[in-house]
A and B are shown apart, each in its own frame.
Chain A
Amino acid sequence: MKLFAPAAALCLLAMVSTSHAADPNLARNLAATCANCHGTNGNAVKGAGLDSLAGVPKDKTLQKLADFKSGDKPASIMHQIAKGYTDAQLDLIATYFAAQK
């Protein structure tokens, strides 16, 4: 039973020390904000007219997002949405989708 007190203390320490660190699932969580339109884990419903992002190479997705942000790629809505995320967040999102099947 002696183990428990130090274990609890370590837990508290761990929680304090990690409170400002990035979440281990940050990329997953950010990518999930895209799933409403682009499908769970980037697998859009086939035939529904919206792009699947699963398995798309990271660079390709990032380039598209950069073009939406700059206005180089015309869009109905993505030019407005891409601007809502930081470049670091878009990198995490593109990396996550590239790794999905």
Chain B
Amino acid sequence: MMLMKRRDFLKAGAAAGAMASLYGCAGGGKASGHVVVVGGGYGGATVAKYLRMWSEGGVQVTLIERNPTFISCPISNLVIGGTKTMEDITVSYDGLKNKWGIRVVQDDVVAVDGVKKTVTLKNGGAMSYDRLVLSPGVDFMWDEIPTLKSAEAQSKILHAWKAGPQTVALRKQLEDMNDGGVYAISIPKAPYRCPPGPYERACLVANYFKQHKPKSKVVILDANEDVQSKKPLFTKAWADLYKGIIEYRNNSEVKDVEVATNTAVLEFDKFKADVLNVVPPHRAGDIAHKSGIKLVNNRWVDINWLSMESTSTPGIHVIGDAIFPAPTMPKSGHMANQHGKLAAAAILNMLSGIEPNPEPVVMNTCYSFVDAKNVIHVASIHQYDAATKVVQPVKGAGGVSAARNELEGKVAIGWAKNIWADMLA
């Protein structure tokens, strides 16, 4: 090489260029391009970081998120129960900006053009992408609980099913409630975000009442026929720890509310509470609906499990709670993080001209607190099945805790610290 004449060097360069273009399409090329990620929750933050990390900075990533900081839904029930603070569940986006070189834009996406490959921002301007990832979480179907359509009603009857100001507000309602009062939480029909979450919340509110307002009660109004997750472990906790405090009512779908009296209107009955916490039915976040991609049941996004790409619109990948789930797959933060990694790997392959990994695996772990210290888990592993083209739960794997225990209470906090770092640090 040292003796190479300039003319020969140019020839060699041209040959190398031709080789690179061939090699690029065959899979060895370094991925490049611009990926826009909408939503900086468990899914979006993860895909943004992993795209930068795995492409070694080759791919430019813009993350558009409406909130200034990440606030975790997992662990937020402990804030409602009074044993953790908002500070404990809040993480900065500085790691994504400074360590990973991600452009974090605080804004809302109001439109997506899948043909021109652009997104339009609420504060003005548009942005073009080579590939788009939507991680919009869920939005609520207010039409199903008509009175709650008004902002005023929503400020009084809370969902607290997105961590943030509503988490703080629900905690305050519980603190302001007189001893002897009734807290009622309603659960929509499955699928909904975080299947064990409402039962965990009932436990943690009951734990607070037991210590500070012992004459008070917790009523669970479940639209489903039965407890949706960890049933034997939750019902045992209710019997052992909260006998006479927690009452569970199945087939109790909330159809409307009467705001002035904190009353839930059920199909044949009404239930008046002192603090009424209604979790409305939900669907894929609004931007998924506005972007015109294919939905299942007009609610959840239909995706290809090899790439998390929309089945209708090439170039748009959708992850997290917004997707139509695979069999037995929960809508959870842990799972959204796994979707993010699956999508990041597939996008980098596609940007280098090779097929996505033909055998993806995702797994879920979910810890629920039944009091301030004791925890129960559920876990599952889902492997891609070429025959059904879906990730399927592995039979004989996964499962639940043998019994509630304090060791897993420590592990649950360790899980949170590690997954937040895996997404954001």
Which residues of the other chain, A, contact B50 by a CB distance below 8 angstroms?
32
Interface residues as binary, B329-362 with A (CB distance below 8 Å gives 1, 0 otherwise):
0000010011001100100010001111111111
Which residues of the other chain, B, contact A18 by a CB distance below 8 angstroms?
26-27, 354-355
Which residues of the other chain, A, contact B314 by a CB distance below 8 angstroms?
none
Asked if B190 is at the interface of the complex by the 8 Å CB criterion, the answer is no
Partner of A76, one of B341, B356, B408: B408
Which residues of the other chain, B, contact A3 by a CB distance below 8 angstroms?
18
B359, A23: Cβ atoms under 8 Å?
A: yes
Which residues of the other chain, B, contact A30 by a CB distance below 8 angstroms?
361
A44–B421 CA distance with the chains assembled, in angstroms: 9
Would you list which residues of chain B between 341 and 387 have a CB under 8 Å from chain A?
A: 341-342, 345, 349, 353-363, 365, 377, 379-381, 383
Which residues of the other chain, A, contact B411 by a CB distance below 8 angstroms?
49-50, 76-77
Asked if A80 is at the interface of the complex by the 8 Å CB criterion, the answer is yes
A26, B341: Cβ atoms under 8 Å?
A: no
A50, B361: Cβ atoms under 8 Å?
A: no
A82's nearest neighbour on chain B, judged by CB, is: B397
A76, B365: Cβ atoms under 8 Å?
A: no
B49, B359, B397, B418: residue with the most chain A Cβ atoms closer than 10 Å: B418
Partner of B359, one of A7, A15, A26, A50: A26
Which residues of the other chain, B, contact A22 by a CB distance below 8 angstroms?
358-359
Interface residues as binary, A28-58 with B (CB distance below 8 Å gives 1, 0 otherwise):
1110110111111000110011100000000
Which residues of the other chain, A, contact B414 by a CB distance below 8 angstroms?
37, 45, 48-50
Asked if B394 is at the interface of the complex by the 8 Å CB criterion, the answer is yes
Which residues of the other chain, B, contact A48 by a CB distance below 8 angstroms?
413-414, 417-418
Min C-beta distance of A74 to chain B, whole Å: 10
Which residues of the other chain, A, contact B357 by a CB distance below 8 angstroms?
23, 25-26, 29
A30's nearest neighbour on chain B, judged by CB, is: B361
Among B231-239, B284-292, B317-325, B399-407, the stretch in contact with A: B399-407
A26–B338 CA distance with the chains assembled, in angstroms: 15
Partner of A84, one of B383, B401, B408: B383
A25–B49 CA distance with the chains assembled, in angstroms: 17
Known A-B contacts A81-B363, A83-B394, A83-B396; the reply to A45 vs B421 at CB < 8 A is yes
Partner of B398, one of A32, A40, A81: A81
Partner of A40, one of B21, B22, B405, B421: B421
Partner of B337, one of A25, A36, A49: A36
B397, A80: Cβ atoms under 8 Å?
A: yes
Asked if A20 is at the interface of the complex by the 8 Å CB criterion, the answer is yes
B362, A33: Cβ atoms under 8 Å?
A: yes
Asked if B243 is at the interface of the complex by the 8 Å CB criterion, the answer is no
A16's nearest neighbour on chain B, judged by CB, is: B355
Which residues of the other chain, A, contact B361 by a CB distance below 8 angstroms?
29-30, 33, 84-85, 89
Which residues of the other chain, A, contact B342 by a CB distance below 8 angstroms?
29
Which residues of the other chain, A, contact B362 by a CB distance below 8 angstroms?
33
A25, A28, A35, A84: residue with the most chain B Cβ atoms closer than 10 Å: A84
B365, A77: Cβ atoms under 8 Å?
A: yes
Known A-B contacts A23-B349, A37-B414, A37-B418; the reply to A77 vs B27 at CB < 8 A is no
Asked if B142 is at the interface of the complex by the 8 Å CB criterion, the answer is no
Min C-beta distance of B297 to chain A, whole Å: 29
Asked if B419 is at the interface of the complex by the 8 Å CB criterion, the answer is yes
Partner of A36, one of B334, B396, B401: B334
A69's nearest neighbour on chain B, judged by CB, is: B397
Which residues of the other chain, B, contact A28 by a CB distance below 8 angstroms?
54, 345
B54, A84: Cβ atoms under 8 Å?
A: no
Asked if B415 is at the interface of the complex by the 8 Å CB criterion, the answer is yes
Known A-B contacts A76-B377, A83-B394; the reply to A29 vs B53 at CB < 8 A is no
Which residues of the other chain, A, contact B397 by a CB distance below 8 angstroms?
80-84
A89's nearest neighbour on chain B, judged by CB, is: B361
A44–B411 CA distance with the chains assembled, in angstroms: 12
Which residues of the other chain, A, contact B394 by a CB distance below 8 angstroms?
83-84
Asked if B422 is at the interface of the complex by the 8 Å CB criterion, the answer is yes
Min C-beta distance of B274 to chain A, whole Å: 38
A14–B353 CA distance with the chains assembled, in angstroms: 10
B421, A20: Cβ atoms under 8 Å?
A: no
Complex A-B, nearest 3 residue pairs according to Cβ-Cβ distance, in ascending order: A84-B381, A84-B397, A11-B25
Provide 18 A-B residue pairs closer than 8 Å at the C-beta atoms, listed in order of the A residue: A7-B22, A10-B26, A15-B25, A15-B354, A23-B357, A25-B54, A29-B341, A33-B362, A40-B53, A40-B422, A40-B425, A45-B418, A49-B411, A77-B408, A81-B381, A81-B397, A84-B398, A89-B361
